[in-house]
């Protein structure tokens, strides 16, 4: 299974909308007779690629797959039927498929007389397709909230200026993380005030070929000439103030699985109150303002024991750019996740 996970994580595979999957075929002696991984939407699935590599040696073999073989016909046929036709004797799966459209492959295989097992290295397999798994299990995309702040929690000065709280190194890092998501979401106020383009750029400032969907929440029309309306990427306007409704629409109507949320303080508070922030990325700059816009608006919490608590997952030190006289110095990137509620 470790080898199947390595195959699934092969570089160059597009993120979404399909999961990353790897497959290894072993003969009765444990010799590898075929390997494969899914290269992206519309390409042969991992099992089919491994079966093609194995040929007749697949008969009587054990298929080790990171995700339950699909049981439906989409752009390609069902992998469960391909494994049955090839005469495999056993299928070992890490993760069951949470997608109700594609799931059920193990039952089909078992009905055909093939021995099946599942759950081997399950956590590793789920981690490989974190956002995809979450979206199908919860009916909404996984939400990563990103913001930049001074040491005293300000996202902008009292005159409204906010460029740039974060350092050039932090902004480059943001583009790397944006590229891991399929949607960048802000509110109409952010578009009106900051006029962001909401695109992903490489280290040289060039636009990447594959861009996330740009989503703007709010009922007001966007100003003509807004950069989010250019042809650099697709843009959708979600005419709602309800975060849950917006996220369900992105999942149901647009097939989105991972939202990179960069909304302002008011919208951030709405997402936090709705309980739909799954990960927090904070860039902390060595600056003090003493006043100005808070990173998040009023959450209605009057006591410290009611505070929303976060678990620190990772810390990254972003060193200053010595060639930039306006660099704000060392920035920290903190990765946090909401603390799981205590049982009972």
Catalytic residue set? 47
Helix, strand, or coil here: 257? coil
Two tokens at 41? Answer: 């939407």
Two tokens at 37? Answer: 């991984």
Helix axes 243-254, 265-274, angle to 10 degrees: 80
Q: Which value, to the nearest 10 degrees, does the dihedral of the CA atoms of residues 106, 111, 117, 119 take?
A: 30
The secondary structure of residue 159, as a DSSP letter, is: T
The secondary structure of residue 207, as a DSSP letter, is: B
Alpha helices in the chain (DSSP H): 2-8, 46-54, 79-86, 105-111, 122-128, 130-138, 168-178, 188-194, 243-254, 265-274
Helix, strand, or coil here: 314? strand
Which of 263, 274, 297, 312 has its CA nearest to residue 140?
274
């Amino acid at each position: 299974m470790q080898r199947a996970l390595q195959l699934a994580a092969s570089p160059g595979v597009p993120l979404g909308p399909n999961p990353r999957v790897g497959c290894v075929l072993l003969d009765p002696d444990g010799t590898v007779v075929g390997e494969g991984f899914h290269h992206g939407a519309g390409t042969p699935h991992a099992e089919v690629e491994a079966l093609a590599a194995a040929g007749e040696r697949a008969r009587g073999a054990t298929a080790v797959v990171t995700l339950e073989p699909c049981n439906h016909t989409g752009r390609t046929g069902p992998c469960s039927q391909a494994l049955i036709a090839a005469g495999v004797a056993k299928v070992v799966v890490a993760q069951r498929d949470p997608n109700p459209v594609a799931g059920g492959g193990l039952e089909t295989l078992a009905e055909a007389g093939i021995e099946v097992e599942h759950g081997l290295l399950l956590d590793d397999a789920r981690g490989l397709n974190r956002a995809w798994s979450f979206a199908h299990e919860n009916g909404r995309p996984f939400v990563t909230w990103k913001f930049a702040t001074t040491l005293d929690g300000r996202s902008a000065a009292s005159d409204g200026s906010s460029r740039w709280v974060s350092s050039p190194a932090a902004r480059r890092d943001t583009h790397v993380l944006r590229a891991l998501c399929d949607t960048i979401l802000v509110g109409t106020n952010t578009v009106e005030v900051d006029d962001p383009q909401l695109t992903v750029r490489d280290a040289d400032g060039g636009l990447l070929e594959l861009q996330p969907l740009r989503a703007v929440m709010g009922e007001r029309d966007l100003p003509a000439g807004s950069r989010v309306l250019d042809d650099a990427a697709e843009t959708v306007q979600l005419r709602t103030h309800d975060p849950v409704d917006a996220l369900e629409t992105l999942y149901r109507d647009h097939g989105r699985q991972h939202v990179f949320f960069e909304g302002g303080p008011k919208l951030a508070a709405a997402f936090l109150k709705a309980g739909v922030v799954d990960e927090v990325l904070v860039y902390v700059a060595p600056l003090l303002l003493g006043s100005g816009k808070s990173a998040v608006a009023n959450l209605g919490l009057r006591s410290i024991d009611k505070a929303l608590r976060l678990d620190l997952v990772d810390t990254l030190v972003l060193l200053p750019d010595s060639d930039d006289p306006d660099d704000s110095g060392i920035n920290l990137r903190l990765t946090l996740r909401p603390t799981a509620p205590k049982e009972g």
